[in-house]
Amino acid sequence: MALLIVSAVSSTVTAIVAVLVIFILNTLRKSKNQQQELLKLLESVQELTGQQNKETVGEIIKQSESYEVLKAQVDSLFPSIINLEHRLGDLLESNVVFQENTTNAILINNNTQLGRIQNSQKK
């Protein structure tokens, strides 16, 4: 009878161990599948990050080129502005001289006309 009990216990323990082994193998398989999925996800993230980095670098290069073009345009404006400032100063000076000459001509003309009127009244 003791042998029968030992045999029953042994069979039960063997069954429990078999169930535990099956459970552990199932868990390991699921874990391996999850690891593979995580690895695929990680690879996808790395690929997307690489693409994003390339696009970001491309945009930075475009912005840098645009900045250089704009800077060159702004730099080329300064000599034009200085030239315009000098030309406006010359024009202002010419206008002042013209105004003075016109005022003098009007005064001379007025004096001449006044002299003629006075001469005609004396006669």
Give the DSSP letter string of 53-67.
Answer: HHHHHHHHHHHHHHH
pLDDT tens, position by position, 53-69: 999 999 999 999 999 99
Residue 23 to residue 92: CA distance in whole angstroms: 99
CA 11-16-19 angle, to 5 degrees, is 125
pLDDT tens, position by position, 17-31: 999 999 999 999 999
Residue 1 to residue 7: CA distance in whole angstroms: 10
- Mean pLDDT, rounded, for 41-60: 97
pLDDT above 80 (res 122): no
Query: Structural domain boundaries of the chain?
Result: 65-108
pLDDT above 90 (res 123): no
Per-residue pLDDT band at 114 (split at 50, 70, 90): confident
pLDDT at 99: 97
pLDDT above 90 (res 120): no
Stated as kind and residue range, the H or E segment containing 100 is helix 2-122
